[in-house]
Amino acid sequence: MTDCIFCKIAAKQIPSQAIYEDEDVLAFKDINPAAPVHFLIIPKQHVATLSQCDASHTAILGKMLSLVPKLAQEQGCGVAVDAAGAAAGGYKTLINSGPDGGQEVYHLHLHVIGGPHPWRGQRSPL
Ligand code: 5GP
Ligand code: ZN
């Protein structure tokens, strides 16, 4: 996809603040963060939107989602549960799909949005 901004980020033609990379995915900080912690996880291969995914995308979608706990922990918004069962920290995971879903960039991406209650008092962080 020659004109896709996230393909260009994945190919290092546009710089980003990467926090994780392997052969299949890249995670990088959102340029316009909605919260103290806000990063995106993308497949390196172009997929326009979640709505175009099917069973053939199970592995990449699973990889993207299963990276969230580790990366959220590293970025400082992991969930801690103490011995009494009280939880602290946390984040939202979000995939916007299509115009009515608020998707602006048509390369599949998973938002991780965290920090101290960034969405408090709001119905939705984005
Ligand atoms: P969407 O609305 O499509 O779910 O989210 C797109 C996200 O990509 C937005 O949060 C926006 O700030 C982020 N974004 C758009 N362009 C760039 C860019 O060039 N670099 C980075 N790091 N983030 C971007
Ligand atoms: Zn792309």
Query: Ligand 1 centroid vs 61 CA: distance in angstroms?
Result: 19
Contacts with 19 (C-beta within 8 Å, 6 or more apart), sequence order: 27, 28, 29, 39, 71, 74, 75
In angstroms, the CA 57 to CA 89 distance is: 30
Query: Ligand 1 centroid vs 59 CA: distance in angstroms?
Result: 24
Residue 121 has a pLDDT of 56
Give the closest residue (by CA) to ligand 1 atom 20: 31
- Residues with catalytic annotation? 109
pLDDT digits 0-9 by tens, 14-55 = 999 999 999 999 999 999 999 999 999 999 999 999 999 999
In angstroms, the CA 41 to CA 84 distance is: 33
Residues with CB under 6 A from ligand 1: 5, 16, 28-32, 96, 102-105
Q: Any idea what the Cα angle at residue 121 is, between residues 118 and 126, rounded to 5°?
A: 55
Q: What is the pTM of this model?
A: 0.94
